[in-house]
Structure 1
Amino acid sequence: MSAVASPQLPQWQYLYGKPAVTATIRSAPEHFIVDEQLNFEPSGSGEHLLLQIEKRGQNTQYVARQLARLTGLRMRDISYAGLKDRHALTRQWFCFKWPIKQELNWQDWQIEDSRILQVVRHHRKLRLGALKANHFQLTLTDVSNPEALLERLAQIKNGVPNYYGEQRFGRAGANLALADSLFGGEKIADRQIRGLALSASRSYLFNTVLSERIARGLFNQVLDGDILQLDGSGSIFQVDNADSTLQQRLLAGDVHPTAPLVGLEGAVVSQQAEQLECQALAPYQRWCQGLVDYRLQGARRSIRLVPQNPGAAVTADSVSLSFALPAGCFATSVLRELACYRDGSRPLAELD
């Protein structure tokens, strides 16, 4: 059975109900600012160079290609911790190996719509995912009711659904259509495109389970057989019998329920939690089997996302928001609980 009947994405369940407030995001790149925070402190010595680069209206891979051109290195020699939106103002880290005694006149480099903020040496290569958090400064314009938006912000301090953002699925769900073709037997030779399709399908399945959990009123409820994740950690543990102590820990934000990233092996829920997930994924068994056949490693992901240090300021019909999110989480998943927004960068937005 095809998992996607049409290219249109479903309307995932809202936790606090669909917002009545309307707004526009990304009216300009400066209205969507992202700062990476690495999960380590640069050592200040070693054979690798870390470059913090501010870019405006350019994607991560464009900057990586320019660094390869300027250094004479191969594209694969340029590493980064994460991909960032093109239609934004982002400050992120890049890395490449460079001999300590070899001169590099990086101060003279010209990269379109980008500037190097700092360069520091480190003793090892920057790996994908080596982030502690992303810090966001967002400006919403044309806000229909700023005060109502601030009221919603007070609600979400206890967490929002940790959905994968729509950019994961491609424009109008194009990456999902690719995945459906792939699981139907069509070959995709390009590894990068194939990877996008696999990632999109797995993210879709995660969102499906999460949305079903909200629909049943079980977002903030520990279930028998659940797998919980410790807050601020990737550590997970299985629950045989949900009890009041675990429920209190969940409400206090100490632990979070999880949903599956479908693949080989990995932790498996049981009992009530297993029944819920099996029912939610029943229409998508061909996709589930396809992810196993392509040997993606199974994992669990928290269904709850708690914005850190949220703040807001109102100016006329604009609202400025600030918060931090763990690596791999989407600011748009926070925004969708605050307002029904229009993306001002469309159709210009190109997301990595």
Structure 2
Amino acid sequence: MSVDLCPPLAQWPYLYGKPGITATIRSIPEHFIVDEQLNFEPSGSGEHLLLQIEKRGQNTQYVARQLARLTGLRMRDISYAGLKDRHALTRQWFCFKWPIKQELAWQDWHIDDSRILQVVRHHRKLRLGALRANHFQLTLTDISEPDALLERLQLIRAGVPNYYGEQRFGRAGANLSLADSLFAGLRIADRQTRGLALSASRSYLFNQVLSARIRQGVFNQVLDGDILQLDGSGSIFRVENADSTLQQRLHDGDVHPTAPLVGLAGATVSQQAEQLEQQALAPYQKWCLGLIDYRLQGARRSIRLIPRQLTATVTGNSVTLTFALAAGCFATSVLRELASYRDGSRSLTELE
């Protein structure tokens, strides 16, 4: 198999055509603000502490390491719901177990470029993925055509391709190179490194199927044998025969087509949808078999991403966007359909 391991996002097709508008993102961390919304309300009691921490220019693992140092716990005892960009201002939740009767002077802690916003007790550990949404406030600067950007924003409201963003693949596709070596027989002892490689390869294959649907003009079309996902839910169902009712539900945003996260078992498409996916994945059978050998559980993911509560405020040749995305979706997948942007953080260091 030959995989183009250059920065991957540029090789996949645009839904609305490559934008001619240019802009800059992340000129400063305050131009990329992310707030986590948990999928539960903290109980206020229990043996676990939830800490909401605002960090600027630091990655999630750095803050987790500092919490381990300050508490005397092991790194693996510190949990969080998701990774957040380093080159941003983010507010996210961390968790660790701490005896109810044991004092913790967290008000005296110092973590570089970070501050603790609140601490609350909860009855269970914070799990990875325990998010309802991420809320974004993004400021685009040096926009070549602000009026044209606002016009294109109206297209974005109907949804964009739910691509995995370039953060998933590492600098210049490094995680994909690692995955290719892994499936060729390289042993990777470190569990986290191996997990990054496996995750990157699955994400790459998902993007390949999504790309095929765009190229074949069926991104916003229900196919015979498709598996659809209910909006705002992980629930999926198979479509034996596409009809006008289902097509209208897709148009209304009530359901979305899905593509596979390759692995063991999981729901499978049939008929027209199966033919499309088999063709898209045919060159990558070594990776597909490798993911099964590593016993990753197969799953489905929506191919369409609709930004919620989308607003735009114009100030000169800058625009500030606010919107919410479901957990696991990438803001850069929204931005790439809006403008051909330059990432201001690139000159500083690589993406997290």
Alignment check: 8 A CA contact 1:24 1:342 kept: yes
Query: 1:92: which partner in 2?
Result: 92
Query: 1:219: which partner in 2?
Result: 219
Instruction: Give the letter aligned to residue 224 of structure 1.
Output: D
Give how far 1:145 is off. 0.5
Whether 1:233 and 2:266 are equivalent positions in the alignment is no
Aligned 1:147-296 pairs, distance under 5 A: 147-296=147-296
CA distance in 2, matches of 1:106, 1:350: 31
Give how far 1:47 is off. 1.1
Query: 2:109: which partner in 1?
Result: 109
SS where residue 100 of structure 2 aligns?
coil
CA distance in 1, matches of 2:15, 2:248: 19
CA displacement 1:3-36 (0-9 Å, x = unmatched): x144342521111111010000000000000000
CA distance in 1, matches of 2:249, 2:172: 39
Give how far 1:194 is off. 1.1
SS where residue 300 of structure 2 aligns?
strand
Query: 1:125: which partner in 2?
Result: 125
CA distance in 1, matches of 2:272, 2:349: 41
Change (3 A) 1:347 1:295: farther
Query: Once superposed, which parts of structure 1, at least 4 consecutive aligned residues long, lie more than 3 Å away?
Result: 5-8, 349-352
CA distance in 1, matches of 2:317, 2:349: 23
CA distance in 1, matches of 2:224, 2:115: 52
Query: 2:299: which partner in 1?
Result: 299
- TM-score relative to the length of structure 1: 0.98
CA displacement 1:260-279 (0-9 Å, x = unmatched): 00111100000000000001
CA distance in 2, matches of 1:236, 1:31: 36
Give how far 1:191 is off. 1.4
CA displacement 1:27-55 (0-9 Å, x = unmatched): 00000000000001111111111110000
Aligned length: 351
Whether 1:342 and 2:352 are equivalent positions in the alignment is no
CA displacement 1:84-131 (0-9 Å, x = unmatched): 010100000011111111111110100000000011111111111100
SS where residue 346 of structure 1 aligns?
helix
Query: 1:138: which partner in 2?
Result: 138
Change (3 A) 1:22 1:301: same
Change (3 A) 1:41 1:199: same
SS where residue 102 of structure 1 aligns?
coil
Instruction: Give the letter aligned to residue 25 of structure 1.
Output: I
Q: Give structure 2 stretches of 5+ with no counterpart.
A: none
Give how far 1:187 is off. 1.5
Query: 2:6: which partner in 1?
Result: 7
Alignment check: 8 A CA contact 1:59 1:351 kept: no
CA distance in 2, matches of 1:322, 1:5: 34
CA distance in 1, matches of 2:250, 2:129: 26
Aligned 1:9-24 pairs, distance under 5 A: 9=8, 11-24=11-24
CA distance in 2, matches of 1:192, 1:98: 25
CA displacement 1:172-209 (0-9 Å, x = unmatched): 11111111111111222221111111111110000000
SS where residue 337 of structure 1 aligns?
helix
CA distance in 2, matches of 1:118, 1:336: 34
CA distance in 2, matches of 1:6, 1:90: 29
Alignment check: 8 A CA contact 1:86 1:349 kept: no
CA distance in 2, matches of 1:350, 1:6: 16
Change (3 A) 1:351 1:6: closer
CA distance in 2, matches of 1:226, 1:270: 7
Q: CA RMSD in A?
A: 1.0
Instruction: Give the letter aligned to residue 209 of structure 2.
Output: V
Alignment check: 8 A CA contact 2:55 2:91 kept: yes
SS where residue 292 of structure 1 aligns?
helix
Instruction: Give the letter aligned to residue 7 of structure 1.
Output: C
Alignment check: 8 A CA contact 2:171 2:350 kept: no
CA distance in 2, matches of 1:104, 1:209: 49
Query: 1:82: which partner in 2?
Result: 82
Query: 2:320: which partner in 1?
Result: 320
Alignment check: 8 A CA contact 1:87 1:350 kept: no
CA distance in 2, matches of 1:132, 1:11: 30
Q: Give structure 1 stretches of 5+ with no counterpart.
A: none
CA distance in 1, matches of 2:24, 2:98: 43
Query: 2:65: which partner in 1?
Result: 65
